[in-house]
Amino acid sequence: MRSLALSEPICGLCGFGGELLSADPPLRRLQLHAGGKADGVIALPELLALCRLSQRLGMKLARTVEVTDANKDYRLLIETEPHRDAISFHIIAWSERDRQDEDMKSQHFTLGLHDDGKGAQVQVDSSLRIISYTADDAVTAPDEPEIGIGLTEWLKLTPDAAGRFTVIEAVAERQAFKNQAAHIGDGAVLLSGHPLLSGQGDFAGYICRIECLPAEPMKPGETSAPFPAQLMSANLKQPLSRIVANAETIHGRLRGAIRENYAGYARDIASAANHLKELVEDFGDLETIERPGVITELERVDCCELARRAAGLLAVRAADHNISLRAPGGAESLSATGEYRRILQILVNVIGNAVRYSPDGTAVTVTADIAQDGRPAIIVEDEGRGIEPQDRERVFEQFERLGRAADGGSGLGLYISRRLARAMGGELAIEDAEKGARFVLSLPPA
């Protein structure tokens, strides 16, 4: 690796969103060679991580980072300094090395696996973070990922018939892999790749070819009308999460003082974006449970542990309204059969509703006991106004909110929860209570 003599530092400026606001020519060229855009998010994950760390700590940092592009390996000594609205950085030492092994270079970028000009090519570093992306065919290529995120944040791997992941086994051995099934949004793809090696023979990541698979033909009786969840792609969740995070940062005045009315606007933005996220998730769940033959993965579960976990997830929300959230003690246990994550989803929905509709200063109690039908059950009780007997079935209907038009809910939560409970062989019902509402989730015995 040869060192370049720098007459003066190579300078750049990083925005709080990770975007490259300005850069001297050598750094800008490296940004483009790594697959980034001149004014886009910094395409060098190590540099981006260092800037974000400097921003989070609020202090100057100096680190050596190693980065790579299609032709060279680089070692850079970088100093960062956070400012009010950006992070400046200076490269004070620059070393680079050409990849001279032509056979190796050919292996990096000529896969020969599904390399028919369709789909896309993505390069990841040794931590499997995306550092470059190119699409050869815009019609069949998947949605473009954000440079710097992990590969498995962009696509979801699918196990083979034996429950194994080809790519994970290949990464462990630093070997090539072929035809790893995955999903990007609603589209099915095949992922194949070859390892990249540095000039010293160290593992430097993978170059992968992504082949988009054709959509499966519809079965007789199916409709071609798009379901709402298909229109609101799973990719919508990521930008909504960013909106929420940025709005909460502004509302919390973490970047400095702002006027009170602007802080209020930011709070409203965060609330609206959270509502949209919940809608997207609800429509996705609705699509899942409406499919014929929906299957749940049944296992032995502890009702008390699930009650404690769900209550813990909602403790902050309850505390914001001075609501006491009571759960079973750590020594209590009650076994049942069901799918852990689906039971937790049901409980979070039911307990969340109890907190939402209970007056401030009251209590929500979560217990585990044997139900009237002799099955293990988790019971959620609140001290709100309760639900009238004639409305106890209506609340489980789609989009039914009993006239609560401004509560922020989608009207799908209880419908989805009951369908999930029944898919596991259980039931979700409302029982008589002395005060407030009493929801009972009963499950098959273990």
- Per-residue pLDDT, 394: 85
Least confident stretch, 86-100, 112-126, 322-336, 427-441: 112-126
- pLDDT of 116 reads 46
Contact 402, 395 (CB under 8 A): yes
Evaluate whether 114 touches 125 at the Cβ level (below 8 Å): no
Question: Using CA atoms, how far apart are residues 226 and 138, in angstroms rounded to an integer?
Answer: 22
* Range name among 187-196, 318-327, 422-431, 433-442 with the lowest pLDDT average: 187-196
Q: What is the mean pLDDT of residues 424-428?
A: 92
pLDDT of residue 191 exceeding 70: yes
Q: Which of 56-60, 123-127, 165-169, 173-177 has the highest mean pLDDT?
A: 56-60
Q: What pLDDT sits at residue 152?
A: 82
Name residue, tokens 């090539």: 176
pLDDT score of 233: 44
Report which of residues 235 and 414 the model is more confident about: 414
**What is the pLDDT at residue 404?**
54
Q: What percent of the chain has pLDDT over 70?
A: 74
CB under 8 A, 24+ apart: contacts of 197-200: 197/104, 198/68, 198/73, 198/97, 198/99, 199/1, 199/73, 199/97, 199/98, 199/99, 199/100, 199/101
Residue 115 has which token pair?
A: 């390399």
Contacts of 208 (CB under 8 A, 6+ apart): 111, 121, 122, 123, 124, 151, 191, 192, 193
pLDDT digits (tens, 9 = 90+) for 301-343: 999 999 999 998 888 888 888 999 999 998 899 999 998 888 9
User: Domain locations in the chain?
Assistant: 2-98, 102-212, 228-284, 299-442
Instruction: Name the most confidently modeled range: 124-138, 190-204, 351-365, 403-417.
Output: 351-365
pLDDT band at residue 223 under the 50/70/90 scheme:
very low
Least confident of 96-100, 230-234, 379-383, 421-425: 230-234
CATH class of segment(s) 102-212: alpha beta
pLDDT tier for residue 177 given thresholds of 50, 70 and 90: confident
Mean pLDDT of the 291-309 span: 81
pLDDT score recorded for residue 14: 92
In this predicted structure, what is the pLDDT of residue 21? 92
Same fold, 2-98 and 102-212: yes
Residue 106 has a pLDDT of 34
Residue whose structure tokens are 């079965």: 219
- pLDDT of 267: 75
pLDDT for residue 437 is more than 70: yes
Q: Average pLDDT over the chain, rounded to whole?
A: 78
132/423 Cα distance (integer angstroms): 43
Is the distance from CB of 155 to CB of 208 less than 8 angstroms? no
Lowest mean pLDDT of 38-52, 396-410, 425-439, name the range: 396-410
Question: What is the structure's pLDDT at 381?
Answer: 95
Burial of 277 (0-12, 13-18, 19+ CB in 10 A): middle
Please give the residue that has the higher pLDDT: either 376 or 280.
376
Instruction: Count CB atoms within 10 A of the CB of residue 90.
Output: 17
**What does the CA dihedral 20, 22, 23, 24 come to, rounded to 10 degrees?**
170
Assign a CATH topology to domain 299-442. Heat Shock Protein 90 (3.30.565)
| Confidence category of residue 105, pLDDT binned at 50, 70, 90 | very low
Region of 199 (left: φ > 0; alpha: ψ -120 to 50; beta: rest) is alpha
Determine phi and psi for 389, rounding to 5 degrees. Answer: -55, -40
CA distance 295 to 42: 42
- In the CATH hierarchy, which fold is given to the domain comprising 2-98? Beta-Lactamase (3.30.450)
User: Which pLDDT value is given to residue 236?
Assistant: 61
Residue 385, pLDDT > 70, answer yes
Above 80 in pLDDT, residue 358? yes
Q: Token digits for 104?
A: 């190796």
Which residues are registered as beta bridge partners of 187?
Answer: 184
